[in-house]
Amino acid sequence: MTNLISPGNLITVAGGVLTVVGAIAYGSGNANLSLPTIFYGIPILLGGLALKSSQLPPARRVIPATTFRQEREAAAPELGKLLGDVTRWRYGQKAHLESSLEALKLWDEDTPPQLLEIEELASDGGYGLRLRFTLGAVPLERWQEREERLGRFFAKGLQAKIAPLGSDRIDLTLLPAAGEHGEQ
């Protein structure tokens, strides 16, 4: 359902409705209604179609947003920002976390890694996230080489763990390093 309600879809529908109303008004000889609706409807429709062509849907959220609210508020603010960033519609990007993956040298221009889903985790060690990626053209070995840096990159005091899931997917788990939870 949320994939249908994107800003690009809403703007496209609004522009389409205005254009159709304008065309019907023009056909019935109502110039007062047809002129503004066509002049506004067509550009809005084209703008919505342009957004739709460049939209990147949010990553699938495994656990509902309300489940770990208290843990999320007590955790490092960077984790909350990361979660919010990948669970919203993006425009003009090939993949979620594009600039982060480029900085970590985990990027391939033709076939970049794609974030499929995100899951919030809470354990005795503290609050963390699990991100599931398809590897694209970036080899697993390159991810494993940067495993230690991945945790520090996203927030101070995080530890990253990479778990391969077959030949083309990985789970990246970001949890507080031992002895780091509870400290702010």
What distance in Å separates the CA atoms of residue 153 and residue 106, rounded to the nearest whole number? 13
Q: What order do you get walking across the sheet with 126-134 strand by strand?
A: 60-61, 114-123, 126-134, 169-176, 158-164
Give the closest residue to 137 by CA, choosing from 114, 104, 162, 112: 112
Q: Per CATH, which fold does 58-176 belong to?
A: Threonyl-tRNA Synthetase; Chain A, domain 2 (3.30.980)
Tens digit of each residue's pLDDT (9 = 90 or more) over 107-117: 998 999 999 99
Which of the 8 DSSP states describes residue 59? P
> Which pLDDT tens digit goes with each residue over 3-39?
568 899 999 999 999 999 999 988 888 888 888 888 9
Which residues 6+ apart lie within 8 Å of 53 measured at CB?
none
Domain boundaries along the sequence of the chain: 7-53, 58-176
